[in-house]
Chain A
Amino acid sequence: EAGVAQSPRYKIIEKRQSVAFWCNPISGHATLYWYQQILGQGPKLLIQFQNNGVVDDSQLPKDRFSAERLKGVDSTLKIQPAKLEDSAVYLCASSFILAAYNEQFFGPGTRLTVL
């Protein structure tokens, strides 16, 4: 089966600019996750969707980050305005259903550099 797709793979912007990332989960996967992985650290969950509804966004900096999954398939994550500390890899993951023991499949990530 095709894996989780993300674009772009790399993005360089200046601070205070805006940026958007796109994710297409594995077909049929109802649950979608966005993680932020700062260099040398483990991924940190930003937001979790079940279909087009938000399950958890407690760690999303809502003053500058937003995410949507309008039709319950693709998702976009936006940062506006970006700060230097937003430099990281943004990983999208999906799982079949919101259930215990459900493997999360990760996309290749988008590496963001904020100058």
Chain B
Amino acid sequence: GENVEQHPSTLSVQEGDSAVIKCTYSDSASNYFPWYKQELGKRPQLIIDIRSNVGEKKDQRIAVTLNKTAKHFSLHITETQPEDSAVYFCAASRKAAGNKLTFGGGTRVLVKP
């Protein structure tokens, strides 16, 4: 089955700096890669996603890149703010597997004011 590795497990940045989280996946047939943000004690919420036919997607301060050949994708947060502090999860899925999401282990991001 699919395996998703996520790095780093923790990330501390100064407010205003950029944060980058990287994920690799094992199943070359995976075609959908969402990113979820989970604040302490709250539910995971989708912040951005990318499909396998796209190499990059941006939404304001958040961007995601996908390298299908290398089977890795990354989340980029620019101009970080204290409210960006949370745990971020990457995930991968493919239609043939019922769109089952396989999650990475998570990255705890701390934005220091």
Contact = CB atoms under 8 A, between A and B. Distances in A.
A101 B50 CA distance: 8
Interface stretch (A17-25, A61-69, A79-87, A105-113): A105-113
B73 interface: no
A26 interface: no
Contacts, number: 63
Contacts of B34: 103-104
A79 to B, nearest CB: 21
A100 B89 contact: no
A41 B105 contact: yes
A108 B106 contact: no
Given A98-B98, A100-B95, A106 B105 contact: no
B87 to A, nearest CB: 9
A42 B104 contact: yes
Nearest to A106: B43
Interface of A: 4, 31, 33, 40-45, 48, 50, 55-56, 58, 91, 95, 98-104, 106-109
